[in-house]
Amino acid sequence: MKQIKQVLGGDLRQYTMVLALAVLIIFFNVISDGRMLTSSNFQNLLSGNAYVLILALGMLMVIVIGQIDLSVGSVAGFSAMAMCILAQKYELPWFIGVLIAIAIGLAIGAWHGFFLAKLGIPGFITTLGGMLMFRGGVIWISKSISVPAPEELRFFGSGYLPEWGPTFTGMNNSTLLLGIIAIVWYIYTELKRYKSEASIGGDSATPLWAVVTRVVLVSLLLAYFTWLFGSGREGTSFPVPGLILLILIFIYHTITQKTTFGRHVYAVGGNKNAAALSGVNVSRTYFLTMMNMSLLSAIAGVLFVGRSTAAGPADGTSWEMDAIASVFIGGAAVSGGVGTILATVVGGLVMAVLNNGLMLMGVGADKTQVIKGLVLLAAVAVDVYNKNSGRSSIIGKLFPSKESTEKKEG
Amino acid sequence: MGSSPFILQMKGITKEFPGVRALDNVTLEVHTDSIHAICGENGAGKSTLMKVLSGVYPYGTYEGQIFFMGEEMRFRNIKESEHAGIAIIHQELTMIPELSITENIFMGNEITKNGLIDWDTQKQKTVEILKKVGLNISPDTLIKHMGVGQQQLVEIAKALSKNVKLLILDEPTSALNEDDSENLLQLMLGLKKNGITCIMISHKLNEIAEVSDAVTVIRDGQTVESYEVEAGHVDEDKIIRSMVGRSIENRYPEHESHPGDIIFEVKDWCVEDPEVPGRLVCKNSSFNVRAGEIVGFAGLMGAGRTELMRSLFGRNYGIYKSGTITIKGKTVELHSVEDAIENGIAYVPEDRKNLGLNLLDSIRKTIVSADLKKILTGWLLDADKELAAAEEYRKALRIKTSSVDVGVTTLSGGNQQKVVLSKWMFTEPDVLILDEPTRGIDVGAKYEIYKLIHELAEQGKAVIMVSSELPELLGVVDRIYTIFEGTITGELPASEADQESLMKRMTVTSQS
Amino acid sequence: MRKKVLAMLLTAAMSVTMLSACGGGREGSSTSDSSDASTEETADAGEDSGDAAEETSSEGFEADATIGIALPWLGTQNWAEAQDMFKEQLEAEGFSAIVQAADQKVATQQQQIESMIENGAKVIVVGPVDGSQLGTVLEKAKDAGVYVLGYDRLIENTTGVDGVVQFGSVKTGELQGQALLDGLKEKKGDGPYNIELFGGGPADPNAPNFFTGAMSVLQPEIDAGNLVVVSGQTDFTQCATEDWDNKKAQQRMDSLLSGNYSDKEIDGVLSPNDGIARAILTACEDAGQPVPVVTGLDAEDESVKLVWEGTQYCTVAKPTKDLVAKTVEIIKSLQAGDGMPPTDVTANNGKVDVAIYELDPTVVTQENAKEVFADDEARMELLQ
């Protein structure tokens, strides 16, 4: 047992949600006669849920600072609709349209940030106002009629990486390249970590064989998914929205774990007063976090209309709830200070796989919602139970720089 | 009702908490229709005694007997003691600011008619009671629209509405200005005439001297002395001697100081209370600290020590009015904590759990948290540098932990404080302000913290240590400022100071 | 301990799946089902053929194939009926049916259609939440060789649609407008009449058509002064009811009445469907107005009762039965390899001309209700 623990690199309990995700995938794959683990299904899964996961990345940071953003759906709908209307009316090139959407997102974020950071109005209220305003705004500017999106955006919303190079690989070579990069990068970081662990914290270092086993297992898994995404119908590959999502995950994981700003986000969420006394500019942290959330909302909106080929007046309705659910399934605390990007992504994927699997089984949207609600409650209940019984928070601490910190809620 | 002259007799009260004997065979006897003062240092056991009396600690959790108006009382909760006629006015006011006076006074004791609240009767009664405490305002006034002094009076009115016989006031004037304080004392004298006995817990010996009929001094959970006095002729020095009482044992490490130049100087520092406009929490404070010197600030709780230090630390508290800070000969304006840290000031707050630490963080993250720039490599935080720093301080400060990756909540109070000290030492400050650095820490850990403070001074840092434990100050620091009600009332070299002389300046007697 | 064992089992299971999966090449792997292989063939065939519906490959498919039905939601009676009828009739024909409703969420509907493709559906019938936001997934369906039929609403902004079955929407509007005029003459004596106009959900491409159809009848009368729209709101955008939401219609009616009818009586209201009609009637009742002449659509039970009682003047029956029957007929033709049945009507959806299979609706009033529902047992029971 100890060996397995060392291979996984820490506390097994941290992996509860990852295990749940694996169980779900295998369960649905068996029950749907293998329709879950197919190239096209996983491609759909990523393209169809990228926007929610992107929202969840920003929402995680908002929830960590102890706030909530109810406006993300409306902001996504509004910025995408404004982009489509302007692009259509003035025949703007698509990238100008995207820049406009992003600018709108930033402006709205600054607006929310101003009310929260400068006037001290709670985020819940600030963004409830934003939710109403921008939902109304979408309907207003669109006159309640859907507007076609610039053609080129379909590449970002549902496109595939190009085909090139030799055919003997038996799969899309862009995807193959991506997979190889991922595997090499993983091996590199693991070895680097092993080295630094060995040189500094000599007593608690993981043995080499465990690191090697871990690297081999994860590499196999990555290789499998590379193959899964790359071997679909000719012309398909790892989807472009999935790639955008991956890049954003990488960026936000780095921001939250490896930058001063990220530390400040956790500090403000953990103990605002202590953070202020440690020289953290609390209101600036609030401001930037809210602004970032609306920026990501705009990006999510653009991806969504890219896939939908048009911006609709109801776009974004209740997206905030999906994003918030992903964050909490990922083990974040309502009181703030706890939660990681990677755990949030796992939380979002659990929701997505659940959705997808139930649809493959032909379960209706009504029952799917009931099941999703139960899963949300169950995930958070297990987390709270674990915290209360004095054990480490399972999910919240999912691989954050490999700590087994015994955090308790303050 | 017996013929006993005492309204209250507490006999042989002993109360133990796990590992601590908070009260040890305490006796308190209060004459009917008198004002009885209880004095003692912070933590002497005054509040615990009052909690026993009022039923917060129910009968059975303590030893001893309580006789009230001649009968033995066995209170199981506050409701029962209130019912018997005992009411406590706490230091922190407990009224609901958004509700009116009437609503607050009858909170939990509403007068009802047919199941509905009888507002007319309630208001009528409120007006009557308010008159008794000398307040002539509408019973519909919201609490939040009243000053602290008036709120205090409403609190007393609330107690009176319950037919109270014995009123306990826990540091009633600590939040009040001088006029309001005087008002309150007069009210107590008035209540005495109307057959209501008062127990007053206070640090302000001048106030005690003004109104008390009897004084009981408690020290280390024991009754030291109890005697009757004549209001206006109280020997304050006698009280101080009783309060301090003990000798300083050899609990402090040897230290020889080598003060250098003045590197930190504050002049005419004035700060206004952010909640009570017009009330200054720091009044023209001026002081200085030399390099390598440890300067103590002695003052009782609420004297404005913490407020002074936090206002100096980048205006973290209060509204800045006037004054200058000079660091190493250069006058600086510190608008934010960031500024303060950049200019070489560090502040270890008194309230470790609420202000000093993010309890969700691990040790390594906490240690670097006040100066993240030092662990940057390019744009990114460098985990190796962070780990190296954390390990360095773990070893240097002998923080007892299995790993620096564990959460700070797993540590004992002493080790937590070492982590907080590490966090500030990591910023390499010139001036280190320590606010009650040994609070809630056991004796062994205290000794280590003292040694650390000495080491810091030897490195040439200017160290300011705020403490309400006089022996600690006398044992550790080189020079002591006393502070009372926001004013610096004295400055003494530690070698010339003793507890009596300090306590006198900390409480401001009527002779001074 | 149990957790650890579980973890081991899982790790083992994952690696087995991985290894078995890795055996295959790009086409027809061991984990993917047979539909993948056939997908490839039909997709190629699809590329050869053109865009128009009639030209799509006419090879047909198995008689027990899977048919996907994607409905927008089940919040109104006609959609709930459609759900049951499709399931019943398709299974009676030997097909296996997947019927899913999307709860009015575009994203959900997109994912449902994708899962139908995954499940190897040969035909997907789509009652869209928003007819213009399904481009990508429907084209994906087309690439996979799946026939896509629009149901009840036009599907816009995509090449991935083979035909649409619907009631003539402009025609429906004309009928509603005419019924309103007839009703006013019948119930409210001589004109001019005070009326108000309501439109349907603007995201539904049929809604403006209903309105246009109705206005083609009403506008001349308004111009002639026989009808007075007291609020002056005669644009579709002013009159539209977002998401066909009854609640919003009622709010609008409340404010119209309080704002414009404090000293007037309202004689008639053009309502695009029954739910909105009932909301309007409720609002009028609350405001103390006499019952106005109100039109409707869909012949929902509740409204059929009201028509029978004389409260709601009329409804327009677009029997779901007919629509489903026509759709199933087309599916059978496709199965047999006869391709899309011919039709004269086409509509441009922004990208291509789409074949439209139009059905005619019927106006139902108190007078003709018994005739119209003669062979509809459930509704006859309402007319007691």
pLDDT tens across C312-367, in order? 999 998 888 889 999 999 999 999 999 899 988 898 888 899 999 999 898 999 98
Long-range contacts of B332-341 (CB under 8 A, 24+ apart): B336/A279, B336/A281, B337/A276, B337/A277, B337/A278, B337/A279, B337/A280, B337/B313, B338/A279, B338/A281, B338/B314, B339/B314, B340/A279, B340/B312, B340/B313, B340/B314, B340/B316, B341/A279, B341/B314, B341/B370, B341/B371, B341/B427, B341/B429
| Whether the Cβ atoms of residue A146 and residue A311 lie closer than 8 Å to each other | yes
Mean pLDDT of chain C: 84
Closest-CA residue of chain B to A407: B360
- Residue B250: what pLDDT? 58
Please provide residue B90's backbone torsions phi and psi, each rounded to the nearest 5 degrees.
-80, 165
- Residue A148 to residue C157, Cβ atoms within 8 A: yes
- How far is it, in rounded angstroms, from Cα C208 to Cα C341? 28
Per cent of chain A over pLDDT 70 is 89
Helix (H), strand (E) at residue B305: helix B305-312
**Residues of A (211-250) whose Cβ lies below 8 Å from C:** 217, 220-221, 223-224, 227-228, 231-234
Asked if the model's pLDDT at residue C5 lies above 60, the reply is: no
User: What average pLDDT does this structure show over A92-115?
Assistant: 96
Mean pLDDT of chain A: 87
What DSSP assignment string belongs to A167-196?
Answer: STTSS-HHHHHHHHHHHHHHHHHHHHHHHH
Q: Which residues pair with B67 in a beta bridge?
A: B9, B72
Per cent of chain C over pLDDT 90 is 56
Q: Give, as one character, the DSSP assignment of residue A116.
A: I
- How far is it, in rounded angstroms, from Cα B40 to Cα B301? 12
| Least CB–CB distance from A360: residue in C15, C118, C135 | C118
| Least CB–CB distance from B357: residue in A271, A276, A403 | A271
- Residue A200 to residue B388, Cβ atoms within 8 A: yes
State the CB neighbour count (10 A cutoff) for residue C63: 11
Q: Is residue A117 part of a domain?
A: yes
| Distance in Å, alpha carbon of C183 to nearest chain A alpha carbon | 31
Asked if the model's pLDDT at residue A185 lies above 90, the reply is: yes
Asked if the model's pLDDT at residue C34 lies above 60, the reply is: no
- pLDDT band, residue A385 (cuts 50/70/90): confident
Asked if the model's pLDDT at residue C233 lies above 80, the reply is: yes
Position B498, amino acid: D
- How far is it, in rounded angstroms, from Cα C358 to Cα A184? 59
Closest-CA residue of chain C to A148: C157
> Which three-class secondary structure string do you get for B429-458?
CCEEEEECCCCCCCHHHHHHHHHHHHHHHH
- Residue B432: what pLDDT? 95
Closest-CA residue of chain B to A277: B337
| Least CB–CB distance from C7: residue in A12, A44, A145 | A12
Which chains does chain B touch, 3 or more C-beta pairs < 8 A? A
User: What average pLDDT does this structure show over A224-242?
Assistant: 91
Using DSSP's 3-state secondary structure scheme, residue A271 falls into: coil
- How far is it, in rounded angstroms, from Cα B258 to Cα A222? 64
Delineate the domains of chain C, giving CATH numbers in brackets: 61-161+320-359 (3.40.50.2300), 169-318+364-382 (3.40.50.2300)
Q: Which residues pair with C348 in a beta bridge?
A: C353
Q: Which residues pair with A239 in a beta bridge?
A: A160
| CATH at A96 | 1.10.3470
CA dihedral sign of residues A110, A112, A114, A117:
negative
User: What average pLDDT does this structure show over A279-287?
Assistant: 95
- How far is it, in rounded angstroms, from Cα A277 to Cα B310? 9
Per cent of chain A over pLDDT 90 is 63
| Whether the Cβ atoms of residue B351 and residue B466 lie closer than 8 Å to each other | no
Residue length, chain C? 384
Domain parsing of chain B, residue ranges: 1-85+165-247, 94-161, 258-344+429-440+453-512, 351-428
- Residue B60: what pLDDT? 87
Pull the structure tokens for residue A237.
Answer: 């590959």
Position A293, amino acid: M
Nearest to B489, CA basis, from B290, B242, B303, B210: B303
Q: Residue written as tokens 């109403």?
A: A132
Q: Residue written as tokens 């704002």?
A: C259
The top-level CATH class assigned to B258-344+429-440+453-512 is alpha beta
| Least CB–CB distance from A258: residue in B337, B341, B380 | B380
- Residue A387: what pLDDT? 66
- Residue A202: what pLDDT? 54
pLDDT values of chain B reduced to their tens digit, one per residue, 512 residues: 445 688 999 999 998 876 667 888 999 999 998 999 998 876 678 888 988 998 888 998 899 999 999 889 999 988 889 889 999 887 777 788 888 999 988 887 788 888 888 899 999 999 998 988 888 889 898 988 888 788 888 988 888 888 889 999 988 877 777 788 888 899 999 999 888 999 998 877 888 888 899 999 888 788 888 888 887 777 777 887 777 765 445 578 888 888 899 999 999 999 998 888 888 889 999 999 999 999 999 987 778 888 999 999 999 888 999 999 999 999 999 999 999 999 999 999 988 888 889 988 999 999 999 999 999 999 999 988 999 999 999 999 988 888 888 888 888 778 899 999 999 999 999 999 999 898 777 666 788 889 999 999 999 999 999 987 888 899 899 999 999 888 999 999 998 988 888 888 887 655 44
What ranges in B133-264 are assigned the alpha helix state H?
A: 148-160, 178-193, 205-211, 236-244
- Residue A410: what pLDDT? 30
Nearest to A105, CA basis, from A86, A130, A139, A140: A130
Helix (H), strand (E) at residue C8: helix C2-22
Pull the structure tokens for residue C141.
Answer: 């369906």
- Residue C223: what pLDDT? 93
- Residue A30: what pLDDT? 93
Contacts of C238 in chain A (CB under 8 A): none
**Torsion angle, alpha carbons of A393, A396, A398, A400, to 10:** -110
Asked if the model's pLDDT at residue A115 lies above 50, the reply is: yes
Q: pLDDT higher for A103 or A164? A: A103
Number of A/C CB contacts below 8 angstroms equals 181
- Residue C242 to residue A29, Cβ atoms within 8 A: no
| Distance in Å, alpha carbon of A35 to nearest chain C alpha carbon | 6
Q: How far is CA A410 from CA A62, A120, A336, A383, B357, in A?
A: 18, 22, 9, 15, 10
Range of the structural domain that residue A69 is part of: 10-159+239-252+291-388
Q: What is the C-alpha end-to-end distance of chain B, expressed in Å?
A: 44
How many independent structural domains does chain A possess?
A: 1
| Distance in Å, alpha carbon of A103 to nearest chain B alpha carbon | 25
B258-344+429-440+453-512 shares the fold of B1-85+165-247? yes
- Residue B133: what pLDDT? 86
Position A288, amino acid: L
Instruction: For chain A, list residues whose CB is within 8 angstroms of any CB belonging to chain B.
Output: 196, 200-201, 204, 254, 257-260, 262-263, 266-267, 269-271, 273-281, 337-338, 401, 403-410
pLDDT tens profile C257-279: 999 998 889 999 999 999 999 99
Asked if the model's pLDDT at residue C238 lies above 80, the reply is: yes
Q: For the structural domain made of B1-85+165-247, what CATH number should be given?
A: 3.40.50.300
- Residue B381 to residue A263, Cβ atoms within 8 A: yes
Nearest to B263, CA basis, from B291, B293, B296: B291
Q: Is residue A318 part of a domain?
A: yes
Which pTM was predicted?
Answer: 0.77
Q: Tell me if there are at least 3 CB pairs under 8 Å linking chains C and B.
A: no
